[in-house]
Structure 1
Amino acid sequence: MGGKPRKTVSSNRREVGAALRSFRKRAGFERLDDVAGFIDTSAVTMGRIEKGEAPIDRANLGVLADKYGLNDHERAALMELARQTRGRRGVFPAFFSVKTRALLELESEASDLLVVNIDVIPAHFQTERYIQALFDGNGEGLPQKEVDRLKSVRMDRQAVLTQPKPPKVRAIIHETALRLPVGGNEVMHEQLLHLAEVCDLPNVEIQIQPAADGAYPHMGISFLLMRLDNDPSTDRVQVESAGDGIYRDRSTTTEPYRLSWERKRVAALSLPASKALILDVARGFAPDPDS
Structure 2
Amino acid sequence: MAPKTATSARRLRLGTELRRLRERAGLSVTEGARQLGVSQAQLSNIEASRFGVSADRLRALARIYRCSDTAYLDGLIELAGERRGGWWETLREMLPAPLLDLAEIEHHATRLHAANTAHIPGLLQLADHARAIFDQAVPEFSRRELELRVNFRLQRQALLEQDVQVSYQAIIHEAALRVPVGGTAVAKRQLDHLLTQSERDGITIRVIPFAIGAYPGSGQTFVYIHGPVPRLDTVSLDQSHGPALVDAEAELDTYRNLLQRMDSVALPPGKTRDFIHGLAAEL
Separation (CA, whole Å) in 1 of partners of 2:75 and 2:164: 23
Alignment of 1:188-267 (within 5 A): 188-229=187-228, 231-241=229-239, 246-267=244-265
- CA deviation vs aligned residue, 1:46-87 (integer Å, no higher than 9, x gap): xxxxxxxxxxxxxxxxxxxxxxx869xx9xxxxxxxxxxxxx
Q: Indicate if the aligned counterparts of 1:114 and 1:226 stay in contact, CA closer than 8 A.
A: yes
- Match of 1:137, SS? coil
TM-score w.r.t. structure 1 length?
A: 0.67
Separation (CA, whole Å) in 1 of partners of 2:86 and 2:164: 21
Separation (CA, whole Å) in 1 of partners of 2:87 and 2:241: 29
- Match of 1:21, SS? coil
Tell me the residue number matched to 1:271. Answer: 269
Percent sequence identity is 26
| Superposed CA RMSD | 2.7
Separation (CA, whole Å) in 2 of partners of 1:245 and 1:103: 7
| Structure 2 counterpart of 1:163, one-letter code | Q
Change in CA separation of 1:7 and 1:98 when aligned onto 2, cut-off 3 Å: farther
- Following TM superposition, by how much is the alpha carbon of 1:22 offset from its aligned partner in structure 2, in angstroms? 4.1
- Match of 1:165, SS? coil
Q: Indicate if the aligned counterparts of 2:88 and 2:103 stay in contact, CA closer than 8 A.
A: no
- Following TM superposition, by how much is the alpha carbon of 1:109 offset from its aligned partner in structure 2, in angstroms? 2.5
- Following TM superposition, by how much is the alpha carbon of 1:210 offset from its aligned partner in structure 2, in angstroms? 0.4
> Gaps (5+ residues) in structure 2?
1-65
Q: Indicate if the aligned counterparts of 2:102 and 2:243 stay in contact, CA closer than 8 A.
A: no
Change in CA separation of 1:70 and 1:3 when aligned onto 2, cut-off 3 Å: farther
Q: Report how many residues are paired.
A: 216
Change in CA separation of 1:151 and 1:282 when aligned onto 2, cut-off 3 Å: same
Tell me the residue number matched to 1:145. Answer: 144
Alignment of 1:1-291 (within 5 A): 1-4=66-69, 6-7=73-74, 9-10=76-77, 12-13=79-80, 21-22=85-86, 25-26=89-90, 97-229=96-228, 231-241=229-239, 246-285=244-283
> Gaps (5+ residues) in structure 1?
28-68, 75-96, 286-291
Change in CA separation of 1:154 and 1:2 when aligned onto 2, cut-off 3 Å: same
